[in-house]
């Protein structure tokens, strides 16, 4: 039972004993004591004033006396300020709370709710490698899944790979025309990087053709439509949808190169999936559902043969579902994917982790699924997050100016290695392999924390130099705090840890225990709001509290055995909760730094 629950029961008993009435749950109002008053928890007594027919201050005083006498030692003292009863909780209670945290192997996790949530994230295209935008998407999606698991959900992590469409054909066509049979093996490049190069090459050649046509007198719009490369790419897409064996074989070969590259990047990033769907498999399901909707009058066909949904009654516009040549669009694919997912799993909540530029898309998807008779249509959740930018501006895939995810991770790990060279004294006696592993954890921890600490709904500016600072609100600062604690625990005498602990708390010991007690509520809050930033802020505050405690109070050199035992237990559980919180962010904790 939590402190709030214990106090609520006692307050109900007090009202019954003092005034002869049963207090309702709604009448019990508890809040954290304001810093200018002594106390840990405040009872608002105004709801009981009419029942008692006494002044608020008198009611608060009477209840304080009753709680002191009947609270079984829970209340150390109280002070009444008008209609507020400020309670000081006895130190022994907080020590018991710390001991309970220590024995709870799953501290912070909520009971199973026996419901299934599917979280979709990543959603890459097979025409380019993952970039910084994908990094934010993957880190948010994976962390949200971990947080929801900690909140008792059964979670299925899923990915939809956009492996078909005109953008895929652009890379295929450029490779055919300019690749000279190049492969990942002959080039020494990861497959996704190799294909991405040809996507950029297509754009370069396409722009050159547009310029030639405009020089010959065509306007820009006409030149874009009549450029030979674009016409060839469109014809390739039609052949793909017609199952042309040669085009399909090329597509399968190039996709395999990309998938191998993606898998390597995902593994390094520390994210994973339970189920992967492919647009090439789901778009036909979507086309089938659109055809059903057309037959039932939900959609309509225009003179050019294209199929549309009229959403004007829903305050939106008209949405294209099938092009005039019969090829599908993203919306068609998402309808099919949603249908297959709900056939595969008993999903209670479906969450799409997709950037805020797609908010309109998911409003439309929800309406269309509902119109098509899928009961889950209205229940879809679009976790809309802001874009990530660099100090020098936005990224553009077609122009080859993206920040590649692999390059970014390499850079973060290399920066961590450089910083560790300045800390040779703390890393003496470790092997080069151990040093490299520390650098990997610190570099990736810096990247993940810097991205996840920002309110996910806001656009953010990623600055690699700021992210890897060992001071301030960064991943390395929290990792260093954890490593510092591990160093203390390694030096401690095991007999000290098991000794009887002090029940007389210093101010900073008490503050640290109270911070630890907040962790389950923080996990719930992060889950309710789909916000890894809530976990980041808590981990940073806990690390700051520990470092303040560590600066002011001795641990290993404390002469009082009982105090030393308490502080060691406190340090041990700060490390435990820091590791738990950071694991929800997908961040590993080094034992030494």
What residues does 33 pair with on adjacent strands? none
Mean pLDDT, to the nearest integer, of 441-446? 96
Q: Is the pLDDT of residue 353 over 60?
A: yes
Give pLDDT, residue 399: 46
Distance separating alpha carbons of residues 210 and 208, to the nearest angstrom: 5
Which phi and psi (to 5°) does residue 60 adopt? -60, -45
What angle in degrees, to the nearest 10, is found between the helix axes of 166-178 and 228-241?
Answer: 120
Architecture, CATH, for domain 121-389: 3-Layer(aba) Sandwich (3.40)
Distance separating alpha carbons of residues 180 and 187, to the nearest angstrom: 11
Distance separating alpha carbons of residues 138 and 270, to the nearest angstrom: 9
Q: Which run of H or of E encompasses 87?
A: strand 84-89
Q: Is the pLDDT of residue 378 over 90?
A: no
pLDDT tens-digit map of 170-215: 999 999 999 999 999 999 999 999 999 999 999 999 999 999 999 9
Structure tokens at 541: 């505050």
What residues does 80 pair with on adjacent strands? 85
Query: Is 23 in a helix, a strand, or coil?
Result: coil
Do residues 335 and 369 touch, judged by C-beta distance below 8 A? yes
CATH of the domain spanning 405-583: 1.10.730.10
Mean pLDDT, to the nearest integer, of 96-113? 95
Q: Is the pLDDT of residue 400 over 50?
A: no
Nearest alpha carbon to residue 435 among 419, 451, 452, 449: 419
Give pLDDT, residue 457: 87
Q: Where are the alpha helices (DSSP H) in 71-190?
A: 91-103, 132-150, 166-178, 184-187
**Higher confidence at residue 428 or residue 16?**
16
Give pLDDT, residue 241: 86
Among the listed ranges 37-51, 261-275, 392-406, 495-509, which one has the minimum average pLDDT value? 392-406
Q: Where are the domains positioned within the chain?
A: 3-89, 121-389, 405-583
Distance separating alpha carbons of residues 255 and 232, to the nearest angstrom: 20
pLDDT band at 502; cut points 50, 70, 90 = confident
Mean pLDDT, to the nearest integer, of 99-109? 95
Question: CA gyration radius for the chain?
Answer: 30
Give pLDDT, residue 394: 47
With helix as H, strand as E and coil as C, how does 525-583 read?
Answer: HHHHCCCHHHHHHHHHHHHHHHHHHHHHCCCCCCCCHHHHHHHHHHHHHHHHHHHHHHH
Give pLDDT, residue 212: 96
Half-sphere exposure of 284 (CA within 13 A, CB side): 7
**Average pLDDT taken over every residue of the chain:** 92
Structure tokens at 218: 């065509």
Among the listed ranges 76-85, 110-119, 459-468, 487-496, which one has the minimum average pLDDT value? 459-468
Which phi and psi (to 5°) does residue 474 adopt? -135, 160
CATH class of 3-89: alpha beta
| Intra-chain end-to-end CA distance of the chain, in Å | 38
Among the listed ranges 207-221, 225-239, 462-476, which one has the minimum average pLDDT value? 462-476
What residues does 287 pair with on adjacent strands? none
Give pLDDT, residue 392: 60
CA 154 to each of CA 110, 111, 242, 381: distance values in angstroms, whole numbers, following the listed order: 12, 11, 40, 16
Do residues 416 and 446 touch, judged by C-beta distance below 8 A? yes
pLDDT band at 423; cut points 50, 70, 90 = low
Structure tokens at 273: 């999936």
Nearest alpha carbon to residue 502 among 99, 190, 223, 40: 99
Residues 6 or more apart in contact with residue 155 via CB below 8 angstroms: 116, 117, 118, 119, 145, 148, 149
Beta strands in 296-342 (DSSP E): 300-301, 307-310, 318-322
Distance separating alpha carbons of residues 577 and 156, to the nearest angstrom: 25
> How far is Cα of residue 212 from the mean position of the Cα atoms in its chain?
47
Give pLDDT, residue 114: 92
Mean pLDDT, to the nearest integer, of 303-330? 92
Distance separating alpha carbons of residues 471 and 588, to the nearest angstrom: 18
Q: Is the pLDDT of residue 424 over 60?
A: no
> Model pTM?
0.90
pLDDT band at 401; cut points 50, 70, 90 = low
Q: Where are the alpha helices (DSSP H) in 453-518?
A: 464-467, 475-491, 494-498, 507-517
CA 487 to each of CA 103, 278, 285, 541: distance values in angstroms, whole numbers, following the listed order: 22, 47, 57, 21
Distance separating alpha carbons of residues 278 and 336, to the nearest angstrom: 11
């Amino acid at each position: 039972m939590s402190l709030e629950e214990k106090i609520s029961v006692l307050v109900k008993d007090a009202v019954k004993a003092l005034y002869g009435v049963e207090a309702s749950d709604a009448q019990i109002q508890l809040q954290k004591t304001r810093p200018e008053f002594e106390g840990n928890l405040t009872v608002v007594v105004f709801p009981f004033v009419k029942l008692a027919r006494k002044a608020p201050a008198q009611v608060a005083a009477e209840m304080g006396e009753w709680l002191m006498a009947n609270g079984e030692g829970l209340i150390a003292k109280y002070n009444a300020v008008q209609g507020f009863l400020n309670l000081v909780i006895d130190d022994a209670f907080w020590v018991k709370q710390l001991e309970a945290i220590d024995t709870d192997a799953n501290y912070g996790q909520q009971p199973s709710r026996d419901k299934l949530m599917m979280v979709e994230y990543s959603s890459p295209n097979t025409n380019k490698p993952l970039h910084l935008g994908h990094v934010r998407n993957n880190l948010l999606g994976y962390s949200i899944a971990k947080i929801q698991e900690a909140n008792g959900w059964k979670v299925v992590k899923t990915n939809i790979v956009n492996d078909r469409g005109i953008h895929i054909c652009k890379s295929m066509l450029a490779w055919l025309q300019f690749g000279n049979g190049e492969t990942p093996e002959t080039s020494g490049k990861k497959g996704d990087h190799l294909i991405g190069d040809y996507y950029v090459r297509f754009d370069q050649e396409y722009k050159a053709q547009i310029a030639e046509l405009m020089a010959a007198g065509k306007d820009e719009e006409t030149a874009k439509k009549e450029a030979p490369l674009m016409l060839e790419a469109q014809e390739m897409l039609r052949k793909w949808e017609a199952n042309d064996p040669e085009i399909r074989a090329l597509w399968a070969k190039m996709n395999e190169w990309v998938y191998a590259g993606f898998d390597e990047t995902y593994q390094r990033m520390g994210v994973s999936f339970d189920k992967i769907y492919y647009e090439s498999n789901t778009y036909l399901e979507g086309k089938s559902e659109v055809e059903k909707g057309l037959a039932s009058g939900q959609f309509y066909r225009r003179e050019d043969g294209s199929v549309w949904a009229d959403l004007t009654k829903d305050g939106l516009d008209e949405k294209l579902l099938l092009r005039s040549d019969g090829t599908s669009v993203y919306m068609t694919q998402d309808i099919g994917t949603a249908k297959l997912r709900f056939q595969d799993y008993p999903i209670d909540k479906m969450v799409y982790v997709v950037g805020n530029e797609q908010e309109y898309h998911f409003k439309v998807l929800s309406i269309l699924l509902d119109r098509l008779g899928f009961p889950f249509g209205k229940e879809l959740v679009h976790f809309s997050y802001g874009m990530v930018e660099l100090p020098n501006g936005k990224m553009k895939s077609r122009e080859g100016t993206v920040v590649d995810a692999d390059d970014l991770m390499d850079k973060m790990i290399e920066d961590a290695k450089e910083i560790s060279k300045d800390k040779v004294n703390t890393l003496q006696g470790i092997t080069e392999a151990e040093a490299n592993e520390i650098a990997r954890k610190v570099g990736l921890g810096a990247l993940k924390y810097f991205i996840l600490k920002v309110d996910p709904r806001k656009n953010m500016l990623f600055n690699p130099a700021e992210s890897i600072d060992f001071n301030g609100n960064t991943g390395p600062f929290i990792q260093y705090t954890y490593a510092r604690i591990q160093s203390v625990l390694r030096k401690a005498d095991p007999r000290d840890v098991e000794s009887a602990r002090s029940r007389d708390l210093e101010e900073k010991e008490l503050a640290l225990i109270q911070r630890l007690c907040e962790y389950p509520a923080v996990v719930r809050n992060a889950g309710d709001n789909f916000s890894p930033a809530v976990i980041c802020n808590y981990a940073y505050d806990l690390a700051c509290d520990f470092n303040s405690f560590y600066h002011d109070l001795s641990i290993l050199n404390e002469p009082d055995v009982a105090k030393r035992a308490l502080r060691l237990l406190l340090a041990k559980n700060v490390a435990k909760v820091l590791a738990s919180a950071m694991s929800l962010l997908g961040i590993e904790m080094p034992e030494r730094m």
